[in-house]
Structure 1
């Protein structure tokens, strides 16, 4: 493990509950993988995660590993991933990259994250050279501007019972447009859409792949709240346990992850202890920048 990565892991722990540029810089450090051999990279986790590695972190790190084997002029346009086993935050994750194909227009990579000799995560990503083509996109919903909405910290001051959620370091600034799901639980409301403004809480370097990886990290936040909100329940408050099972992202247009983007999510179906969630990312000017689909394991206890 590099000294930089050790500092990032420890720093996120000591910054628990904090946000802003210092915490964002630590996230950037975590995404700066150590190359240990050709096509093999190593990443670490912040030690504040006592049970398992955050899924968005694994997806972001795997995409970094894939991207570092691809020419910079080819841009990632999609990824498809499976969360196979819970990640152990106490040891590094080794990312093994398989160079599946280098074509004239497209490049395909497969990445497997390994701990304790077993695969914990698998990702396929496709990169494309920039080409002209047809253009259309959905319009962004009408929502209040992010600056008019309370911060996450301001929201959480009303809920001392959720101290565990408040104490986590937050490199992503989140502003709820719709009522947070812990507010609507038990009210009888069937919340069809969850909407939040997000941005990296500080300034990111001008590296396009890094911005894509930060959005990938953020895409695993609030997404599985959508199926829970349909039923008025919320994680530990209602004995709900769950985990991401698979995750797919399509990147449509360039963006900066340190500028506001709207995350508009919904759940079309839940069955068999699984919930499906879909999401759209819009830049502040209304441009559709990415689409996400995830299925998660959701078990509701008595």
Structure 2
């Protein structure tokens, strides 16, 4: 998925460096015409290392550079001098990046901490020089080891946004509007579906200088788990959220049915998502008069028995403070 500079999925071909060759040098100097072997070892090939960087938020730079190659190790020299090690190549990625083997789709590892390092392609060892092979029966070995070749592999980097609260809802449910009101983020807002084509992050300021991070995820449509609409490309961003905030507009044909469709899409994508804490916000509630809201509330009270829900309006600034309280309580409640 991409919009502007936001790239959250790239395929790379990485190659580590070959090990340098061992030297077959024989010691020679004035008055010593038949010295023994003194060939040095080859240097190690450079590694390809993936490193977490908390200052990055996208995989944009790899949109133009898909082949990453480390330096080869230097060859051994005379007087048992070891060749230089090949320079390692670092691939800096945002926190929340999952590394997969492109061929098998198996997860290799995940980057979740700043400066966390994973050697994704190990450089080849340098070959040993001929002085290692000197023996009583072979005083002047004229052979040395070649270096071990480096590794080549295809990997896929997938970014999963790290946020405390993830906004879940159908397109045009008011998620971007809520994010713009409750945080300092400035997402694109318009009155048509799929305005949001990339996750937007914002910091919600709470009482006593405390805060938490909220993510506006592109809208879900029925069949998203099978790849319809923006498909699983955005559903993976929900996996790292501690609390899921379901946003359903009050003018929906059936609020409960919309909630159940959203829940079913999450279940079909990854059943473990249903274990996360949930909060339901009925958005655009400034469109309801007191009588209509009371009617809707009676129905919702019976359905949302153990899940907190509330009526809000981002435009009219109604219920925003209460929403922050509920989210903060969910994020900081003690485990049972």
Q: TM-score, normalised by structure 1?
A: 0.27
Task: Between the two structures, name the one with larger relative contact order (CA 8 Å, sep ≥ 6).
Answer: 1
Q: Larger radius of gyration, structure 1 or 2?
A: 2
Instruction: Please identify which structure carries the higher strand content.
Output: 1
